[in-house]
Amino acid sequence: MLVASELGFQADYPEENILFIAENTNTKAICVTRGKHGSILLWENSFYYRKGFMMKVVGTAGVGDSYLAALIAKLTSDKEPEKVSDFASAVGAIIASHPGANPK
């Protein structure tokens, strides 16, 4: 991971890099998106994994922004990280399956 590397640390597993970043930046929540491979969410000292949705990608404009907005909105209101991660991934998949950053 680029951020961990820039901070002088490089591990073989993403979880190690995520923990290093969290500990060295006093960050309590970190999410790493991995495109079609899903995401890893560190929330309240636990990891949550989400597989990517299988769908045809039409465009990627706005996918990351939409994912992050959905993740933050749900984390501040839902408090069930598994459901939060599923919701954010679904929003990202919907955006990616349509042209443009703001499909109807």
Please tell me what DSSP assigns to residue 48.
E
For the chain, what is the largest distance between any 2 Cα atoms, rounded to a whole number of angstroms? Answer: 43
List the helix and strand counts (H, then E) for the chain: 4, 3
Q: Is 42 helix (H, G, I), strand (E, B) or coil?
A: strand
pLDDT at 60: 86
Q: pTM value?
A: 0.84
Q: What is the pLDDT of residues 66-104, one digit of tens each?
A: 999 999 999 988 778 889 999 999 999 999 999 887 877
